[in-house]
Amino acid sequence: MESYSTVALVAFLLVMISLSCFGKAADQKVFGASFIFGDSLVDAGNNNYFPTLSKANIAPNGIDFKASGGKPTGRYTNGRTIGDIVGEELGAPNYAVPFLDPNSTAKEKLSGVNYASGGGGIMNATGRIFVNRLGMDIQIDYFNITRKQFDQSMGASKARDYIMKRSFFSVTIGANDFLNNYLLPVLSIGARISQSPDSFVNDMIEHLRGQLTRLYQLDARKFVVGNVGPIGCIPYQKTINQLNEDECVELPNKLAVQYNARLKDLVAELNDNLPGATFVLANVYDMVLELIINYKKHGFTTASKACCGNGGQFAGIIPCGPTSSMCSDRDKHVFWDPYHPSEAANLIIAKQLLDGDTKVISPMNLRQLRDH
């Protein structure tokens, strides 16, 4: 009798444990795919596959990227991008693969595809200085190809459900529209020749509205859109303008703030007007500026000097490459090169995107968006 009771008790406990585990699994949203659009801040290697002056597939870029054994992959940093870190934290089985990578598999693409391109922007003219790059319009054209591939591999109904309910779309773009378009020297090809700041920012917003709406029409529903960071504070701008360590260039930051205010209104408008969509706005400007101002609090020794680069007080003129000087304490520099954050800085920003409050990401953070 005692033996029977023991067996019955063990069986009961096993059933309860299995039901408990099932309940947790049922409650937890399973990560679908991460579709990444943008510029060199999140490019995972698309620029490797066409001729362009904007490339990062040369050492020592990627020196701390464990997945490649420290070899360059085309990421414009020493390790992981923000997109890589966010994907890891949200449960993606692998990094979003570059769309142009001929060796990527259909299975890998189900976890996510990266369309970002160094030099790319909202406006099609942005980045002409690099000869070739993928602008936002082309990136969406490429997603349309992926969208059709999902239909073929999963069936139209399952693919639509997978993309609408289990996947999200991150858009990190806009900085190049100022740095490599509007702010280029007037005697060159910058848009300042013909447009006021108000007119140019308005064009950016109009184009982005159309681009995000087009993604919605292709079944995108969960969006995170980053605003433009304090581009007047990057080592390149500080170096060419011969600023002190605690100074930033006023005009680029002023343009970023102007654009960001319009972007905030656009995100609110799209949330109101596109049924079933959730647009989350990432306040990259304030996150990065806080990191630059309070760099010591975050464990950095400098927020002005590039770890990898050459030229001027802040090593901010020549991009990172084999002949560049490189710091030994890479995790102590906010900036990896004259333009891009280090992996250590990316980790701090990604953490705020994942778990931050509405001051840095609203109306919800990325963990909440995944489960929304």
Looking at 54, 64, 340, 342, which residue is catalytic?
340
Catalytic residue check, 265: no
DSSP string computed for 186-209: TTTT-GGGT--HHHHHHHHHHHHH
Catalytic residue check, 340: yes
Catalytic residue check, 337: yes
Closest of 301, 312, 369 to residue 338, by C-alpha? 312
Phi, psi of 40 (to 5 degrees): -65, -15
| CA angle, 363 then 368 then 372, to 5° | 90
Three-state SS string over 25-94 comes to HHHCCCCCCEEEEECCCCCCCHHHHCCCCCCCCCCCCCCCCHHHCCCCCCCCCCCCCHHHHHHHHHCCCC
C-alpha distances in Å from residue 364, one per residue of 52, 283, 356: 37, 12, 8
Looking at 34, 40, 324, 342, which residue is catalytic?
40
Looking at 34, 111, 337, 342, which residue is catalytic?
337
Torsion sign across C-alpha atoms 286, 287, 291, 294: positive
Catalytic machinery residues: 40, 337, 340
